[in-house]
């Protein structure tokens, strides 16, 4: 596969989470597809019934995002990291709540938290929510779902401070879009593959909710301009 083809593939996979195909090499953009539309449900944090008013948890409501030196920064209207996943049923792995940065080089960094469940048997008495941390992921469509397929480059070099959440990375590319999302884990994230195997794709976690979307042009609020 050529370098150009590889980059195009990475950008397309990034666009799965971004909700729109990037206007790269003449590719035509289209409107974001809400995760609720994928699973046929509505989320109370993102009402679809009134196009003029969408209620979003302020902790997941993106005000803006930017690169500050080697830091990817997201600013929310509420408290960054102030909302964590609900406690999962015993024996399951629960959800991941995250702030996902899709960058111009096709890389995807996710600042996230999830329940600390047992890798083999899911959650157990005494489990707790993890510290906020970050890693890179790759995405693909598997059985009609938007799935995380690999997890790598985990880092605890993150900061949650008031409205801002940030990830320290080396040489970050330009931010194309940031989303606040919830993924349902199917396996424990520590057991996720770090390299994608096209002959045996694994859906580590699948997208269930897209709370908010920010781009340099739309400024969040599901493409409605922020105040």
pLDDT digit string, tens, across residues 83-120? 999 999 999 999 999 999 999 999 999 999 999 999 99
Per-chain mean pLDDT for the chain: 80
Mean pLDDT, residues 22-40 taken together: 31
**pTM score, two decimals?**
0.78
Q: Read off the pLDDT of residues 160-210 as tens digits, 9 standing for 90 and up.
A: 999 999 999 999 999 999 999 999 999 999 999 999 998 999 999 999 999
pLDDT tens digits along 15-26? 555 443 332 222
- The confidence score (pLDDT) of residue 54 equals 64
188 token code pair: 């424990």
Give, in degrees to the nearest 5, the angle at Cα 145 between 139 and 149. 30
Can you tell me the distance from the alpha carbon of 41 to that of 44, in angstroms, rounded to the nearest whole number?
10
pLDDT of residue 34: 35
Tens of pLDDT, residues 201-217: 999 999 999 999 999 87
Instruction: Specify the DSSP element, H or E, that contains 10.
Output: helix 3-18
Structure tokens at 210: 């897209």
Instruction: Give the pLDDT of residue 52.
Output: 43
């Amino acid at each position: 596969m050529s370098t150009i083809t590889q980059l195009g593939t990475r950008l397309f996979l990034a666009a799965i989470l971004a909700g729109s195909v990037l206007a790269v090499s003449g590719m035509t953009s289209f409107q974001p597809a809400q995760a609720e539309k994928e699973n046929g449900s509505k989320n109370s944090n993102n009402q679809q019934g009134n196009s003029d008013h969408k209620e979003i948890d302020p902790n997941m409501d993106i005000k803006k995002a930017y690169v500050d030196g080697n830091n990817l920064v997201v600013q929310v209207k509420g408290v960054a990291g102030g909302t964590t996943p609900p406690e999962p049923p015993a024996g399951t792995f629960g959800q991941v709540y995250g702030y996902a940065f899709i960058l111009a080089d096709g890389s995807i960094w996710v600042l996230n938290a999830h329940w600390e469940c047992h890798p083999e048997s899911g959650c157990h008495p005494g489990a707790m929510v993890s510290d906020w941390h970050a890693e890179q992921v790759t995405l693909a469509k598997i059985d009609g779902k938007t799935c995380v397929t690999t997890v790598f480059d985990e880092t605890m070099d993150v900061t949650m401070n008031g409205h801002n959440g940030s990830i320290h990375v080396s040489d970050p590319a330009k931010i194309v879009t940031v989303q606040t999302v919830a993924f349902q884990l199917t396996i424990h994230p520590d057991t996720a593959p770090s390299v994608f195997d096209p002959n045996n794709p694994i859906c580590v976690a699948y997208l269930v909710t897209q709370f908010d979307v920010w781009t340099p042009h739309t400024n969040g609020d599901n493409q409605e301009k922020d105040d």
